[in-house]
Amino acid sequence: TDLQEEKYYNRLISTNTSQVLTVDSISCDFNTYPYEAVVYGTQTIYRKSNVTERSLVTACSLLNTVRSDRNPQGFLITKFRVINNETRRTTPR
């Protein structure tokens, strides 16, 4: 779904919420094409009233494309999906 259509970004701004995404590890299978990648990380959400830490696991397919200054790796991300986004803990501020 398109996050802008869901007014996701507007909610972040109007509630003065900020996020930090930390990548823990990346797994990529280069033996099959399109390449399948899984990213494991942590999403920390800072709100006025609390700080929430969530586990974040995403997956996608990578297609080869032309390298450029804006895309030095030469991959196109397709079929992006969130596998897990569970809350680990919420701490009051």
CA-CA-CA-CA torsion sign (35, 74, 5, 18): positive
Residue 3 located in a structural domain: no
> Are 74 and 65 within 8 A, CB to CB?
yes
| Preceding peptide of 72 cis, ω within 30° | no
Number of domains in the chain: 1
Which tens digits make up the pLDDT trace of 14-70?
A: 888 999 999 999 999 999 999 999 999 999 999 999 999 999 999 999 999 999 999
The two structure tokens encoding residue 87 = 């809350």
Residue 1 located in a structural domain: no
Closest by Cα among 72, 70, 76, 84 to 38: 84
Q: What SS3 class is residue 12?
A: helix
Residue 32 located in a structural domain: yes
